[in-house]
Structure formats: structure tokens, C-alpha cells
Amino acid sequence: ETGVTQSPTHLIKTRGQQVTLRCSSQSGHNTVSWYQQALGQGPQFIFQYYREEENGRGNFPPRFSGLQFPNYSSELNVNALELDDSALYLCAIGQGSGYTFGSGTRLTVV
């Protein structure tokens, strides 16, 4: 519906494992951002990529990393998963008034 596709929609990981989440858009926009939304909270900015380079980062540790590919799809990687990493992870394309969010990936860390 939104033109932003995230995969997988749900997954369960064990503490200490690593996870990769993916995002793509029909429009192939050159700016992509990732947000973490804990249960009952507003989304929190993780980082933003513009033309394959990270150009902004929120208050998240280095074990949260990302990539943007030449086709402008993107990945969010989280190493050494902690229980508190359980959340909805949202990808958004565009910036400012042009933000469009995907439906997110629900990550559960057990």
C-alpha cells in the first residue's frame, strides 16, 4: 500500500544472536531511515542513509548498523541482540514532509 516493503514481517531471535532486516521501495528513493518503536512508545530514530552513506544517527550503539544498496534498498543489522531490542522496526523513505513508512518488522528477542 505505502510502496515501502519490509521483510520479514515477524521474527523471533535468541539473545546474543544477530539479525538482518530488509527494506525496499517501489520508487527507489535515495533517502532511507530506520526507526525502533518499542511497545507503547513512539518511534525512535536509529539512522538515515542517503545515496549509500550514513548521514545521521540517533542515540543507538554501534551494534546497530545499516547498509543502503545502489538500488536504494536497505538493511538494518543488529548484533549481540538484547531483550530490550524487542520492538517494531520501521523503515521510512524520503525525509521531511515526504516521509513514508513501511509496516515494519516485529522483532522478538527471547
Partner 1 sequence: QQQVKQSPQSLIVQKGGISIINCAYENTAFDYFPWYQQFPGKGPALLIAIRPDVSEKKEGRFTISFNKSAKQFSLHIMDSQPGDSATYFCAASWENQAGTALIFGKGTTLSVSS
Contact residues for partner 1, defined by CB under 8 A: 2, 4, 31, 33, 35, 40-45, 48, 50, 55-56, 58, 90, 92, 95-97, 99-104
Cβ burial 75-86 (10 Å sphere, 16+ → b, else e):
bbebeebeeebb
Looking at beta carbons only, is 11 or 50 nearer to partner 1?
Answer: 50
Smallest distance, Å, CB 68 to partner 1? 13
Looking at beta carbons only, is 57 or 63 nearer to partner 1? 57
Q: Assign 84 to helix, strand or coil.
A: helix
Q: How far is the CB of 93 from partner 1 (least distance, A)?
A: 11
State the Cα–Cα distance between residues 104 and 89, nearest whole angstrom.
5
CB of 16 to partner 1, least distance (A): 28
